[in-house]
Amino acid sequence: MRLPLDETAFTYDERPVAIGQVVLAAVSWGAWAHLLRRLELGVLAAAEREPLLDEELHPRLVAWRRERRLLAADDYNTWLAVRELTLEDMSAYLRRTTATERLGEDSDRVEPEAHAHNLDSVAAAAFPEAILSGELQSWAERLGRQTAAARALAGHGLDVGEATPQAVEALLRKARADPRTGLAEVRAERLAVWAADELALECAWDRLAREVADEGLIERCVRSHHLDWQRLAWDEATFPREDVALEAAMWVRDESVALDAIAERAGALASAGEAYGFDAGELMQLLVGKRPGELVGPLSTAQGWRLLHLRERVPPTPADPQLRARAIEELLEDALVPHLAGRVEWHAAL
């Protein structure tokens, strides 16, 4: 199955963007190669591991449908039919993804070239994989954001830039080298225009990112997230009974004994954790009002009685590379919003 690459994926300000342009952009970003590598691993894993039972795949299918709000059978079947996919396509996708996860660390040692006889189905599965994984839609959205970045620059009188002929030719060679994209069948003149447009959009995106990466703006952005971007470090332990947990809390609070040492004496499970507030989930709510050295709990859980000991709270700073990148991403979003709202209209079902 291959999508019609000339079909319009979306329009931006009524300017059509074809599905082929989305695929070409994915080739340029390396996203297409990443998808194929995962697909090859999935095909090999599904062929060489023990067959998966339908009972094993059912929970994954339910999760997939729930994520897309397709719990009704009619909605699910219509979604597939509109994209010219079958139940067999979905079953094969679930088997590949499940088998790949079973490989775990062994996936790094799999060499698809050594199993080429098992890879005949990769070409046919490439587009179903891109659609069912959500990546084709994600690529289209990324391309739309790049288009909005070019408009944002133009709105400020800034040059969007053009791709060099050498860069265009390099992308064309890369696109034509893999027949599974279908791009080699696109008229040469049209493909060259697509390549030049995509590389110009990438330049626009990079320039807009530089424009918003103002030190003052980054600092204000980080400062506005002083709670959810702080980094927390904690110890925790789960005790079998509440009275044991209460005694452990007393030793930690009054005698300054380490929580993991108390847990070891009691034969309880102990661990250490560290996370930014936005990744800490429920722990953020539990620890947000605590000072380093304070305890939370005992808290009743299905496993027992849980104690948390906050070790460290680090305020957010622009010097933190991860937070700096997150701030730039947020500033980019703010710059793009006025140039995305109401301008993108989706045409193809991706």
In a domain, 265, yes or no: yes
Average pLDDT over residues 247-251: 86
Query: Is the pLDDT confidence value at 112 over 60?
Result: no
Displacement of CA 305 from its chain's centroid (Å):
34
Percent of the chain scoring above 70 in pLDDT: 93
Nearest to 129 by CA among 85, 168, 173: 85
In a domain, 216, yes or no: no
For residues 269 and 239, membership in a common domain is answered with yes
For residues 205 and 245, membership in a common domain is answered with no
Q: Among 75-84, 111-120, 262-271, which stretch is predicted with the lowest mean pLDDT?
A: 111-120
pLDDT at 157: 81
Q: CA-CA distance, 207 to 182, in Å (whole number)? A: 31
For residues 28 and 168, membership in a common domain is answered with yes
Query: How confident is the model over 17-45, as pLDDT tens digits?
Result: 999 999 999 999 999 999 998 888 888 87
Total tally of structural domains belonging to the chain: 2
Query: Is the pLDDT confidence value at 115 over 70?
Result: no
Host H or E run for residue 9: strand 8-12
For residues 46 and 189, membership in a common domain is answered with yes
Host H or E run for residue 344: strand 344-346
Q: What's the pLDDT band for 16 if we cut at 50, 70, 90? A: very high
In a domain, 293, yes or no: yes
Residue 37 in tokens: 């590598």
| Angle, vertex CA 240, rays to CA 239 and CA 246, nearest 5 | 55
Q: What's the pLDDT band for 163 if we cut at 50, 70, 90? A: confident
Question: Is residue 79 left, alpha or beta, with left meaning phi > 0 and alpha meaning psi from -120 to 50?
Answer: alpha
Query: How confident is the model over 182-239, as pLDDT tens digits?
Result: 998 999 999 999 999 999 999 999 898 888 888 999 999 999 998 889 898 988 888 8
pLDDT at 131: 95
Q: Reduced to 3 states, what is the DSSP secondary structure of residue 238?
A: strand
In a domain, 205, yes or no: yes
For residues 21 and 104, membership in a common domain is answered with yes
Residue 218 in tokens: 């980054």
Is the separation of the CB atoms in 4 and 19 below 8 Å? yes
pLDDT at 211: 87
Query: Is the pLDDT confidence value at 92 over 50?
Result: yes
Instruction: Please identify which residue in the block is written with the tokens 């710059």.
Output: 335
In a domain, 331, yes or no: no
Query: How confident is the model over 41-76, as pLDDT tens digits?
Result: 888 877 766 666 677 788 899 999 999 999 999 999
Q: CA-CA distance, 3 to 84, in Å (whole number)? A: 9
Is the model more confident about 275 or about 3?
275
Displacement of CA 192 from its chain's centroid (Å):
30
For residues 201 and 235, membership in a common domain is answered with no
In a domain, 324, yes or no: no
In a domain, 275, yes or no: yes
For residues 42 and 130, membership in a common domain is answered with yes
Displacement of CA 42 from its chain's centroid (Å):
19
pTM: 0.79
pLDDT at 199: 94
Q: CA-CA distance, 154 to 172, in Å (whole number)? A: 27
For residues 84 and 111, membership in a common domain is answered with yes
Query: Is the pLDDT confidence value at 106 over 60?
Result: no
Q: What's the pLDDT band for 118 if we cut at 50, 70, 90? A: low
Range of the domain at 234: 227-314
Contacting residues for 165 by C-beta, under 8 A, at least 6 apart: none
Query: Is the pLDDT confidence value at 117 over 50?
Result: no
Domain boundary among 158, 180, 211: 211
For residues 60 and 102, membership in a common domain is answered with yes
Give the burial class of 55: count Cβ atoms within 10 A of its Cβ; 0-12 exposed, 13-18 middle, 19 or more buried: exposed
Query: How confident is the model over 271-309, as pLDDT tens digits?
Result: 888 888 888 888 888 887 788 888 888 888 888 888 888
DSSP 8-state symbol, 7: S
Q: CA-CA distance, 115 to 279, in Å (whole number)? A: 40
Q: CA-CA distance, 9 to 20, in Å (whole number)? A: 9
For residues 41 and 140, membership in a common domain is answered with yes
Residue 324 in tokens: 């700096």
Give the burial class of 237: count Cβ atoms within 10 A of its Cβ; 0-12 exposed, 13-18 middle, 19 or more buried: buried
Domain boundary among 211, 237, 252: 211
Q: What's the pLDDT band for 133 if we cut at 50, 70, 90? A: very high
- For residue 237, the domain's CATH number is 3.10.50.40
Mean pLDDT of the chain: 87
Q: CA-CA distance, 119 to 47, in Å (whole number)? A: 10
In a domain, 245, yes or no: yes
Domain boundary among 155, 180, 211: 211
For residues 168 and 234, membership in a common domain is answered with no
For residues 47 and 144, membership in a common domain is answered with yes
Query: Is the pLDDT confidence value at 114 over 60?
Result: no
